[in-house]
Amino acid sequence: MCEVIHVPHQQSYDVYVSSFRDETRRAKMIQRCIDCGLEATIYNFTENDPKIHEVAACVGDPNASGRFLVVFNWLRLCHDFYHNSTNDYCVMMEDDIYLKKSIKVDIMNAIEVMKNMNYPIMLLGYLMTYTPDQAGFLKFTEDDQGFSFYHYPDDLWGSHCFIINKPQAKYFLDKYTIEYIATLYGTGGDWIFTKDALNGNRALMFPPLAVEMGLVRTTHQGQIDFHRNCSDFQYNQHIYTA
């Protein structure tokens, strides 16, 4: 089951937020969208998609269904964007992020670059404890608003905020069938949705428009420390929401 909550403001792109069984996170994201003047649709997933069991059956391991939880939530957002929206671009968000206070306008800058440079995916939030220049990422353009745009490698993680266009959404829906998903090693958003651009063109926007809160659901101390360090490195209370 999924409860859909709409936060209305007028804009020329969609914003979809994926949330799963966390009232506190969801309430904070609704307030952040309101504070930033963003029109957003919040997807409150309360149950796992039954297709995870179909994939596990294809794999031949009923206990493997937990590996496929996230992918079907993202595909639901892609489906609604492609089939129900009149807009050409959609911002996909997780529910545990701080938003740049000027994000409503800044998204338009990102979309303009996507149009001009033929990029179907633009990453707006990512896990980094360094700048793209420090990492040696290839910068392909910059704008007059202080943003730079870079190509990024496969080992850059984080899918907490990104933009796709309509052809990219259709590409995901056509490609990621139950049978195909069963062949994948990793099915998180940053294994699939930020890496698999339909024409190979993908980019990130820097500075980021979203910063992960740094709270991760795991007992792995290395992951806990990594997410916390990324949040501490990127977050600035004067630039991002609380």
DSSP line for 91-103: EEEESSEEEBTTH
Residue 48 contacts residue 69 (beta carbons within 8 Å) = yes
The 10 Å CB-count burial string (b at 16+, else e) for 206-241 is bbbbbbbbbebeeeeeeeeebbeebbeebeeeebbb
Spatial distance between the Cα atoms of 18 and 178, rounded to a whole number of angstroms: 20
Query: 10 Å Cβ neighbour count for 75?
Result: 20
Instruction: Break the chain into its structural domains and give their ranges.
Output: 2-234
Parallel, antiparallel, or unpaired: how do β-strands 139-142 and 210-212 relate?
Answer: unpaired
**pLDDT for the residue numbered 62:** 79
**pLDDT for the residue numbered 87:** 96
**pLDDT for the residue numbered 5:** 75
Q: What are the pLDDT tens digits along the chain (242 aa)?
A: 687 877 665 689 999 999 988 899 999 999 999 999 999 999 999 888 888 888 888 988 877 777 788 899 999 999 999 999 999 999 999 999 999 999 999 999 999 999 999 999 999 999 999 999 999 999 999 999 999 999 999 999 999 999 999 999 999 999 999 999 998 876 777 888 899 999 999 999 999 999 999 888 778 898 889 999 999 999 999 999 99
Torsions phi, psi for 205 (to 5 deg):
-105, 130
* DSSP 3-state of 90: strand
Which CATH code, of 3.40.50, 3.30.450, 1.10.4160, 3.90.550, is assigned to 2-234?
3.90.550
Q: Which amino acid is at 190?
A: D
Q: In 107-199, at which residue ranges do the beta strands (DSSP E only) sit?
A: 121-125, 139-142, 148-150, 161-165
pTM of the model: 0.92
